[in-house]
Amino acid sequence: MVNKTVIKSRLRTKGQITVPAEIRSVLGAQEGDDLIFYTDEQNRVIVSRAQIIPPDQAWFWSERWQRLEREAQEDIQAGRVYAFEDLESAMTALDRAADEKDAED
């Protein structure tokens, strides 16, 4: 049998409750955080901490961008990166690489 911890909290006027410190700790919730309440198939209430992403940062958390971030990190770890002293050096290297690719095709 699974050992369960039971913690009591009283429902107050206007439907307010105090989320006990132990539960806040499990959720990683702090003052000002939003909590999400939903029910499962057995009508049990599930509480989780909302992880709100500001709209202007949503692109970063898209599946495509996260895949590109992982690929970039793999390239960095494998040493497949280049450093340049200035923009002109970088552009020269890119032009050279494009010319070599054109020569292959």
pTM above 0.75, yes or no: no
> pLDDT (tens digit, 9 = 90+) per residue, 79-95?
999 999 999 999 999 99
Dihedral, CA atoms, 48, 49, 50, 52, nearest 10 degrees? Answer: -150
Both 59 and 96 in one domain: the answer is: yes
> pLDDT (tens digit, 9 = 90+) per residue, 45-61?
999 999 888 889 989 98
Query: Hey, which residues does 38 pair with through a beta bridge?
Result: 46
> pLDDT (tens digit, 9 = 90+) per residue, 24-46?
999 999 998 899 999 999 999 99
Domain count of the fold of the chain:
2
User: Does a structural domain hold residue 30?
Assistant: yes
4 falls in which pLDDT band (50, 70, 90)?
confident
DSSP summary character for residue 19:
P
pLDDT at site 11: 94
- Determine the structural domain holding residue 20 and report its residue range: 13-49
Both 98 and 61 in one domain: the answer is: yes
pLDDT at site 43: 94
Both 93 and 64 in one domain: the answer is: yes
- The domain that contains 26 carries what CATH number? 2.10.260
